[in-house]
Structure 1
Amino acid sequence: MALGLALLAALGPPAPPASVPPQIFAADARPGLGVTLRRCRTVTVADDACEAAWEAKRRHFFGQERRAR
């Protein structure tokens, strides 16, 4: 029976690729934050705007924005 199930699994159609849930990109919905974060990925010196943008992204990711208001 196990051999039959393994054969069916091997010969069956492949599973469709999983799509990325839209809520992952919700943090980039705020105007300017996504652009700032993309620019800050390559900054090698301390930048106050970048630090503030990353902190806002962290707070949003961990769901702390709602508690802070």
Structure 2
Amino acid sequence: MSPAAKIAIGGGIGGLMLAVAVVSALHRPPEPAVTILVPEDEAAAARQDDLARCRTITMPESSCDAAWEARRRHFFGKDNRP
């Protein structure tokens, strides 16, 4: 291989390394995720307690059916519909 070809290959590799260094220096790291904490009211805490209790029972219970239905309505956004 001729000396000119070696210089050209070395220059190409050096240029590629320089381009990678510039791109990685200019690349901004992703912003950290922001967690929004919504304070729960006492009614929501009571519903969560009911749902936790209803998960463990095996017999049908009307209060558990009502709690699960309220949770379904809240999840699907049907609470605020007219």
Q: Report the TM range for the smaller structure's normalisation.
A: 0.5 to 0.7
Structure number with larger C-alpha Rg: 2
Moved over 4 A (4+): 16-22
Between the two proteins, the alignment pairs up a number of residues equal to 61
Q: Provide the rounded CA distance (Å) in 2 between the counterparts of 1:21 and 1:62.
A: 21
Change (3 A) 1:30 1:60: farther
Which of 40, 52, 65 is the equivalent residue of 2:54?
A: 40
> Unmatched 5+ residue regions in structure 2?
1-15, 17-31
% same residue: 40
SS across alignment from 1:35: helix
SS across alignment from 1:64: coil
Q: Provide the rounded CA distance (Å) in 2 between the counterparts of 1:17 and 1:41.
A: 32
TM-score when normalising by structure 1: 0.57
Amino acid at match of 2:71: K
